[in-house]
């Protein structure tokens, strides 16, 4: 089995600050692997281990996204590819999916692609479905359990808003992972030592056979505002009886209860 995992490097959420000129303050950002992608990596590793398979991680991003790829390698992935090109700076989810689909076709012999259900920075949730469309493969979104993965088929549970669904699909397929699909492992210290010096191949747009014209629309962010600060809490004083009474009353008033 050859699994590809799509990994996006995103800012850790509480590390993002917006500058007065509406830019993201890059100095304070702590870059991490998108939370949902960590589950995707772990799931791919577990199934690859069972079948003696291969895991390749792909990231589309700036050069420093190699940090996330190296972490995935230290977790146990076999290969990594960075897709980085100045022309991709403002690419949206659709364009990104098109480029990654081309990269996956270039790799060839891929049986399954795992990605997170969405990224914690842009939160569009479009990447996985769009990738499946560009590859022409079935998609299994919001997967919270993989029951079975064979050379030709997969059985998963999908967590939908008000239903749980068990679905079977043929391969190749695109799977998007939700939180708690598994427990992502820590990088291995031995592998950290190996991968820290390992060069990671970088592909530009032309390496995957695309040009700027193929990307479709680009996205420009016209305004950025930080979320309003949370109003400060209210302390309820008195003995336990009084406190509980006052608390319940407030919860009823605010229609929580």
Partner 1 sequence: MIDWTANYGFFLNEEHAMLRKTVRDFAEKEVAPYIQEWDRKGASHDAGMAEHMIPVIKRMGELGFLGVCIPQKYGGAGFDYLGLAVVCEELERVDTTLRVILSVHTGLNSLAVFQWGNEEQKQKYLVPQAKGEKIAAYCLTEPNAGTDVAGMQSTAVLEGDHYVLNGEKTWISLSDLADHFLVVAYTDKGKKQRGMTAFIVERSFEGVETTPIHGKLGVRAGNTGSVVFKNVRVPVANRLGDEGEGFKIAMTALDNGRYTVASGATGLIQAALEASLKYSKERETFGVPIGNHQLVKRMLSHMILNLETSRMLCYRAGWLKNQGIRNTRETTLAKWHATVESFNAANDAIQIHGAYGFSDEYPVERYLRNSRGAVIYEGTRELQELLQADFALEERSYKALRCELPAYDEAAWNE
The site for partner 1 (CB under 8 A) is made up of 15, 28, 30, 70-71, 74, 186-190, 192-193, 195-197
Q: Least distance (Å) from partner 1 to the CB of residue 26?
A: 12
34 or 141: whose CB is closer to partner 1?
A: 34
163 or 232: whose CB is closer to partner 1?
A: 232
16: its two tokens: 């993002």
167 or 192: whose CB is closer to partner 1?
A: 192
How far apart, in whole angstroms, are the C-alpha atoms of residue 52 and residue 87?
37
Sort 56 into a burial class: Cβ within 10 Å, 0-12 / 13-18 / 19+.
buried
How far apart, in whole angstroms, are the C-alpha atoms of residue 194 and residue 179?
29
Sort 254 into a burial class: Cβ within 10 Å, 0-12 / 13-18 / 19+.
exposed
Q: Least distance (Å) from partner 1 to the CB of residue 192?
A: 4
Q: Least distance (Å) from partner 1 to the CB of residue 196?
A: 4
How far apart, in whole angstroms, are the C-alpha atoms of residue 24 and residue 1?
40
Q: Least distance (Å) from partner 1 to the CB of residue 33?
A: 11
Q: Least distance (Å) from partner 1 to the CB of residue 76?
A: 13
169 or 202: whose CB is closer to partner 1?
A: 202
86 or 190: whose CB is closer to partner 1?
A: 190
Q: Are 34 and 176 a contacting pair, CB within 8 Å?
A: no
Nearest CA-CA partner of 127 in 91, 73, 82, 86 = 91
């Amino acid at each position: 089995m050859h699994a590809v995992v799509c990994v996006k490097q995103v800012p850790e959420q509480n590390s993002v600050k917006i500058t007065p000129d509406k830019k993201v303050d890059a100095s304070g950002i702590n870059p991490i692997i998108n939370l949902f992608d960590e589950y995707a990596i772990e799931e791919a590793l577990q199934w690859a281990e069972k079948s003696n398979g291969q895991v390749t991680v792909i990231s589309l991003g700036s050069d420093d996204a190699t940090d996330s790829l190296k972490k995935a390698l230290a977790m146990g992935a076999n290969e990594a590819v960075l897709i980085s090109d100045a022309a991709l700076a403002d690419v949206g989810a659709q364009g990104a999916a098109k480029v990654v689909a081309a990269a996956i076709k270039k790799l060839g012999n891929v049986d399954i692609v795992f990605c997170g259900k969405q990224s914690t920075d842009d939160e569009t949730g479009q990447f996985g479905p769009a990738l499946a469309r560009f590859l022409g493969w079935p998609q299994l979104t919001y997967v919270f359990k993989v029951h079975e993965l064979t050379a030709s088929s997969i059985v998963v549970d999908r967590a939908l808003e008000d239903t749980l669904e068990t679905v079977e699909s043929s391969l190749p397929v695109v799977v998007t992972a939700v939180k708690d699909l598994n427990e992502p492992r820590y990088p291995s210290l031995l592998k950290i030592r190996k991968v820290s010096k390992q060069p990671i191949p970088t592909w530009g747009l032309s390496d995957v056979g695309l040009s700027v014209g193929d990307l479709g629309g680009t996205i420009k962010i016209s305004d950025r505002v930080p979320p309003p600060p949370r109003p400060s809490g209210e302390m309820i004083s008195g003995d336990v009886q009084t406190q509980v009474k006052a608390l319940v009353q407030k919860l009823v008033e605010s229609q929580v209860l």
